[in-house]
Amino acid sequence: MTEGLKIENVYTAYDKADVLEGVSLAVRPGKITCLLGSNGVGKTTLIRSILGLTVPREGRITFNGQDITGLSTHKVIANGISCIPEGRKVFPKLTVEENLRLGAYQVKSDAVIRERIEEAYEIFPRLKERHVQLAGTMSGGEQAMLSIGRGLMSSPQLLLIDEPSLGLSPLFVKENFSIIERINERGVTIFLVEQNMRQTLAISDYGYVLSKGGVVAEGDAKALSENDEVHQAYFG
C-alpha cells in the first residue's frame, strides 16, 4: 500500500543523541490514527521529522508513495500535509481572520482563501463572531479552535495534531475532540499525537504507543483501549 503516510525505521537525533530509534508506523487515508506516549518520549520529534524541521538521520518517510524525507517544510505542506502545533500558538497581535489567512500563505487566489475562511467559520461559528478580535485576547478554548481553523486553511489531506488536549479544561477537550472527528468526517486524514490515552482512543481508528524512542504496542483503537497491560506499563 502506497497511500497515506508511512514512517519506516526512522532515527532522529538532536546533537548526537537519538530521540527516535527506528520508528515505523502507517497513517491510513481517511482514518484517525493516534500516537500515544508520555512526556518526552519523542512524539513532537516525530512530527518535526515528518515536517522536515528536524531531518531524520536514517529511515524513510513517504506520503502517497512519494519520498518526503528531509524535504523542506514548505514542500511538505505543498504536498497536502498541515500541522496544528502543541500549545496552539496563534499570533496574539493579529485578528482571528488574519490568523486564518496566514494558514493559506501558499494560496494565490483571494477567492479560494475567502471560500476557505467561510468553511472555517462554518465549522467554528464562534470564530466568525469574533473575526476582528485579536487572537491573544481570546480564551484558551477559542485559541484552540483558531489554531485548528488555521491548520485547515491549506486544505490538507493529512492533518498532524500535536497534543490538542494540553492545558485545556475537560469541557474544551471534549469539544476539541468532537471537532477533530467532524473534520475527519469531512475527508481529512488525522494523525493525532497525545498523552490522553482514553479520550484519544475513543475517537481513533488505530493507535500506536511510543516509549523510549520506539513503538512498543499498536492495534485497533478499541483493542488498545481494552489493553490494561499497555495502560499500566506506559500511562499508569
Ligand X SMILES: Nc1ncnc2c1ncn2[C@@H]1O[C@H](COP(=O)(O)OP(=O)(O)OP(=O)(O)O)[C@@H](O)[C@H]1O
Bridge partner list, 191 = 33, 160
Containing 131, the helix (H) or strand (E) segment is: none
Residue 66: helix, strand or coil by DSSP?
strand
Using the rule CB under 6 A, is 40 a contact of ligand X?
yes
Give the whole-angstrom CA distance, residue 96 versus residue 42. Answer: 31
Burial 142-164 (b: 16+ CB within 10 A, else e): bbbbbbbbbbbbbebbbbbbbbb
Residues 170-199 that bind ligand X (CB under 6 A): 195
* Min CB(2)–ligand X separation in Å: 27
* Min CB(121)–ligand X separation in Å: 30
Placement of cell 481529512 in the chain: 188
* Min CB(153)–ligand X separation in Å: 24
Residues 41-70 that bind ligand X (CB under 6 A): 41-45
End-to-end CA distance of the chain: 35
Nearer to ligand X, 51 or 138 (CB): 51
* Min CB(43)–ligand X separation in Å: 3
* Min CB(185)–ligand X separation in Å: 27
Nearer to ligand X, 14 or 105 (CB): 14
Nearer to ligand X, 36 or 90 (CB): 36
Placement of cell 538521520 in the chain: 57
Nearer to ligand X, 97 or 213 (CB): 213
Residues 126-165 that bind ligand X (CB under 6 A): none
Using the rule CB under 6 A, is 88 a contact of ligand X?
no
Placement of cell 491548520 in the chain: 151
Give the whole-angstrom CA distance, residue 121 versus residue 67. Answer: 34
* Min CB(134)–ligand X separation in Å: 27
Which residues, in sequence order, are CB contacts of 21 under 8 Å at separation 6+? 11, 212, 213, 214
Q: Which of 7, 23, 34, 37 binds ligand X (CB under 6 A)?
A: 37
Using the rule CB under 6 A, is 101 a contact of ligand X?
no
Q: Which residues here bind ligand X, judged by CB under 6 A?
A: 14, 19, 37, 39-45, 86, 195
